[in-house]
């Protein structure tokens, strides 16, 4: 449809300058839609070359009301103020404003496009997002982020309310666990059991004023195993009000209010880090205290060298209620035994990620082959186990 004819028909529809100009939003550069609308309305004949700043009538201004927009552009400043008021309790550095339109307005826009085409048009939603967003950015002195903003406020035009979509705050770090009897994550079936997650999260939740937290660890140690290897983790804070955290002070606070867990190298991170540490398969070094049913023959200890290499482990009995029953192959890289008493010795073991160390020692009724018990020719149990190194 020739541009002037299309313009005339749209004016007959009773459109305001915003809604008129928006049908030609892809024409010209550096113009707002209401300025395009004014150019269209006050020039007898129009062509694509007329959409320049010099042709904007002096009396053009934001606002106006018509059957399509129902006067929403008259309230842009009010919507921006409502967004800022809703965001007042929150610290943020980036934002992306959105709107939710009444269904009738969206249907009216589709009807208009079905009659006159939409090849040069812009959604009314997009224009409102931009106009309200610009004002909010100026008022709050923050930046727009189209990928992962700290908060995305969505203005519900129908209900005159703002809904907030709040991005999690992610903190990366490493931890050591110095006592036994602490799980890595919460035990919902037994609240008496403490966890690394709760110990680390407690002071962070208080400072960030977050609704909750999720703990993402790079693997885990059993509840009765200590960890001295500085295990990677990401603490995900849900709906935090405070984001500009002093991480050095938080680290000090976590490490001084208790002695069970120590954290290191806290820093802000992203979802990519969670994916990376979840997929991490780092080999680990363990120190195991082993008790045998018989006195240890020092000569027999040399047989433990046969454990170096590939072992086969069927899913241990202690975890087969939650893991698939299958046989896995794992590599054992190093073993260093040291006799302590007649039936006790320490064993330093370096193993591939995913190796079951307790079963490597006991054999788990023959489900792990070879094993310490098998090679020594007597029952052997892991009395104490520590993670003393984690490869990065």
pLDDT digit string, tens, across residues 202-243? 999 999 999 999 999 999 999 999 999 999 999 999 999 999
Share of the chain above pLDDT 70, in %: 99
pLDDT at residue 48 greater than cutoff 60: yes
Q: 284-390 — its CATH code?
A: 3.30.70.3190
> Fold match between 3-166 and 169-278?
no
Whole-angstrom distance, CA of residue 135 vs CA of residue 141: 10
Compute the average pLDDT of residues 163-175: 97
The two structure tokens encoding residue 357: 């160390």
Compute the average pLDDT of residues 149-159: 96
64: three-class secondary structure by DSSP: coil
Can you give the pLDDT at residue 299? 85
Which of 222, 246, 299, 386 is an active site residue?
Answer: 222
Q: If pLDDT is split at 50, 70 and 90, which confidence band does 320 have?
A: confident
Q: Which residue in 140, 124, 130 sits closest to 82, CA to CA? A: 140
> The CATH number of 169-278 is which of 2.40.100.10, 1.10.10.10, 3.40.50.300, 3.30.70.2510?
3.30.70.2510
Compute the average pLDDT of residues 313-338: 92
Can you give the pLDDT at residue 1? 57
Compute the average pLDDT of residues 63-83: 95
Which residues partner with 257 through β-bridges?
none
Beta strands in the chain (DSSP E): 94-95, 98-100, 143-144, 151-156, 161-166, 169-177, 212-217, 226-238, 261-269, 284-292, 309-314, 327-341, 344-351, 368-369, 380-390
Q: If pLDDT is split at 50, 70 and 90, which confidence band does 265 have?
A: very high
The two structure tokens encoding residue 347: 């064993």
Catalytic status, residue 222: yes
Per-residue pLDDT of 74-107, as tens digits, reads 999 999 999 999 999 999 999 999 999 999 999 9
Whole-angstrom distance, CA of residue 155 vs CA of residue 75: 12
Q: If pLDDT is split at 50, 70 and 90, which confidence band does 297 have?
A: confident
Can you give the pLDDT at residue 190? 74
Q: Where are the domains of the chain?
A: 3-166, 169-278, 284-390
Phi, psi angles (nearest 5°) of residue 139: -65, -40
Compute the average pLDDT of residues 37-44: 92
pLDDT at residue 188 greater than cutoff 80: no
Q: 3-166 — its CATH code?
A: 3.30.2300.10
pLDDT at residue 319 greater than cutoff 90: no
pLDDT at residue 371 greater than cutoff 80: yes
Mean pLDDT of the chain: 94
């Amino acid at each position: 449809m020739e541009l002037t004819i299309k313009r005339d028909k749209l004016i007959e529809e009773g459109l305001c300058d915003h809604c008129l100009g928006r049908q030609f939003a892809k024409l010209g550069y550096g113009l707002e839609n209401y300025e395009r609308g004014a150019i269209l309305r006050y020039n007898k004949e129009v062509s694509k070359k007329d959409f320049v700043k010099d042709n904007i009538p002096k009396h053009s201004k934001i606002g106006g009301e018509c059957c399509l927009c129902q006067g929403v552009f008259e309230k842009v400043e009010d919507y921006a103020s409502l967004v800022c008021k809703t965001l007042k309790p929150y610290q943020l550095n980036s934002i992306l404003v959105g709107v939710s339109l009444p269904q009738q307005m969206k249907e009216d826009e589709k009807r208009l496009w079905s009659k006159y085409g939409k090849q040069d048009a812009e959604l009314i939603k997009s224009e409102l997002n931009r106009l309200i967003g610009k004002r909010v950015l100026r008022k709050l002195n923050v930046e727009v982020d189209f990928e992962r903003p700290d908060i995305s406020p969505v203005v519900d035009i129908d209900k005159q309310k703002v809904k907030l979509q709040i991005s999690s705050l992610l903190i990366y770090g490493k931890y050591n666990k110095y006592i036994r009897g602490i799980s890595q994550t919460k035990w919902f079936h037994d609240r008496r059991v403490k966890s690394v997650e709760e110990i680390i999260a407690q002071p962070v939740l208080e400072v960030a004023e977050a609704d909750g937290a999720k703990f993402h660890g790079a693997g885990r140690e059993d509840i009765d195993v200590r960890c001295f290897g500085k295990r990677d983790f990401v603490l995900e804070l849900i709906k935090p009000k405070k984001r500009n955290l002093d991480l050095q002070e938080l680290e000090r606070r976590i490490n001084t209010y208790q002695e069970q867990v120590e954290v290191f190298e806290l820093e802000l991170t992203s979802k990519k880090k969670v994916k990376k540490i979840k997929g991490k398969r780092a080999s680990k070094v363990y120190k195991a205290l082993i008790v045998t049913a018989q006195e240890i023959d020092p000569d027999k200890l040399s047989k433990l060298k046969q454990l170096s290499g590939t072992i086969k482990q069927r899913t241990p009995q202690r975890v087969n209620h939650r893991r698939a029953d299958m046989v896995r192959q794992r590599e054992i890289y190093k073993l260093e035994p040291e006799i302590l008493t007649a039936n006790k010795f320490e064993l330093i073991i370096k193993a591939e990620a995913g190796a079951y160390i307790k079963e490597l020692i006991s054999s788990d009724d023959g489900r792990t082959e070879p094993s310490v018990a098998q090679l020594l020719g007597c029952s052997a149990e892991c009395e104490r186990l520590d993670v003393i190194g984690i490869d990065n």
